[in-house]
Structure formats: C-alpha cells, structure tokens
Amino acid sequence: MIISVCIPSYNGSRYLKEQLDSILNQTRAVDEIIISDDSSTDQTVEIIRSYNNPRIRLFERQKFSSPIFNLEFALKQATGDYIFLADQDDIWMPDKVEILVKELATCKLVISDGVVINQQGKELAPSIFEIYNSQKGFFKNLTKNSYMGCCMAIHKDLLPIVLPFPKKIAMHDLWIGLNAELYTKPVFCPAKLVKYRRHDFNKTPLDAQTNTNSLFYKIAFRLTILLLLVARFVRRKMRFR
C-alpha cells in the first residue's frame, strides 16, 4: 500500500518546515510527499530542497495562481493507494496517518476533526467539527460545508470521479466532499488529528462571522457547484451505459 501526501505551496516559508516535519515523523510513514509550488517568491523552494529527502517530490515554477488548480496538479502526480490532502501551514498530529489509513480500508473518503491554532500555535478553538457542525449529508454540506481539505484523505478510486476539477469551482474540498456523498459513504473521524492554522493569508473563512462573502455570492457558487455535479453525474452515466 502506497501513501501519498499532496501539498499545494505558495510563499509558505514561514510555516512549511513545521508542517513537513510533522508529516515526515508520522507513526505510520508516508511514501511520497508531492509538493506543487505555484512560483513562490520567498524561501519556500529552498526549504523543500534542504530536506534532500527522496520521499519529497517537488514540482516547482508552476503558474496556476490558484490553490485549487495547484492542488489538482499535485493530485494528478500521486501514485498512492491512499492520498492525503495537506496545507502548507498546518501541523499534523503524529498518529494522523496511522488512524486514517485504518478508516480508508473500508471507505473512499475520511475526514478527521482538528483544533484551530493562530500564527503562534496557540489554540483558538478546540474542534473544527463543532465550528462547522460537521457531519455527512449531501444537502447539509451543500448549504454549510464541513469538508476541509486539510483534514481529508481519499482512496485513489475517488480520483477519476473528482478530476479534473471544473474551471468554475470556488472550493475544491467541497467539490471532493459532495462527489464522495454522491458515489460513496464518507466517514467522519472524531479524532483531532490536525492543528489548523489561521492567519492573515487564509483563503477559507472559519465561520459565518468571518465569512465576508455576500449572500448572492454564497447562493451563486452553491448553485454553480450543484449544476457542475449534475453535469458530471450525467456524463458518467452516459459513458457507462
């Protein structure tokens, strides 16, 4: 069994070493860490190279200008049976891989709980699941997403379903999660296995209070992703008739 970790990086030098150390020192070792770097202008690439570790596969000078499609590229390079999604600035608990690999033996997607930390590593919230009322359910997650990529791991069988990412999606983790809801039975693991770091450059709002998107935007992007899911579902059905 091969275990891959996919990280989209961009100007992540401040926290990347702490994250890589946490991934490389798991109680269940990973086989490859695929890092797609979106043309960082800081020391990100130099930090990655300094490890000189054969398990780290660096793809540099990418030009996506998008964490979504930077991750998509990394996923396409993965050779693993089980694929973990990772942010460049979080910290994994030492037994994250060991615990989630056991779950993936019987499911195609598993998502764990985690704690929220600030830039200095101080805990801000004790449970991501509590913030998002995280649970299974297609319409529950369409209306309030609880699929966070940094907490997710998937079986390789899910890749042909979710890839390629549609050009108009606003959230890759919601796209992956909703496809898993349609085709498989996702598992929500209550173990807190990630320290999810919040700072000034986070792309994802933490909750309704920090989400400044307009109501129109929230409705429009959910309608868009629903239409994209239906279109993908119909194409798959037609292909296998």
User: pLDDT tens digits, residue range 126-176?
Assistant: 999 999 999 999 999 999 999 999 999 999 999 999 999 999 898 999 999
- pLDDT band for position 209 (50/70/90)? very low
How many angstroms separate the CA atoms of 109 and 180, rounded? 7
- pLDDT band for position 214 (50/70/90)? confident
What is the model's pLDDT at position 208?
A: 46
Q: Which residue has the higher pLDDT, 239 or 125?
A: 125
Tokens (6 digits) for 131: 């913030």
Q: What is the mean pLDDT of the chain?
A: 93
**Residue 22 pLDDT > 60:** yes
Q: Which residues contact 44 (CB under 8 A, 6 or more apart)?
A: 9, 10, 11, 12, 13, 16, 37, 88
- pLDDT band for position 53 (50/70/90)? very high
> What is residue 25's three-state secondary structure?
coil
Q: What is the mean pLDDT of residues 105-125?
A: 97
Buried/exposed 198-232: b ≥16 CB within 10 Å, e otherwise: beeeeebebeeeeeeeeeeeeeebbeebeebbeeb
How many angstroms separate the CA atoms of 14 and 50, rounded? 15
What is the model's pLDDT at position 210?
A: 53
Cis peptide before 54 (omega within 30 of 0): no
Indicate the helix (H) or strand (E) that contains 20: helix 16-24
CA 202 to chain CA mean position, Å: 13
**Residue 38 pLDDT > 80:** yes
- pLDDT band for position 200 (50/70/90)? low
| 16-20, 78-82, 161-165, 167-171: segment of lowest average pLDDT | 167-171
Q: What is the mean pLDDT of residues 207-236?
A: 81
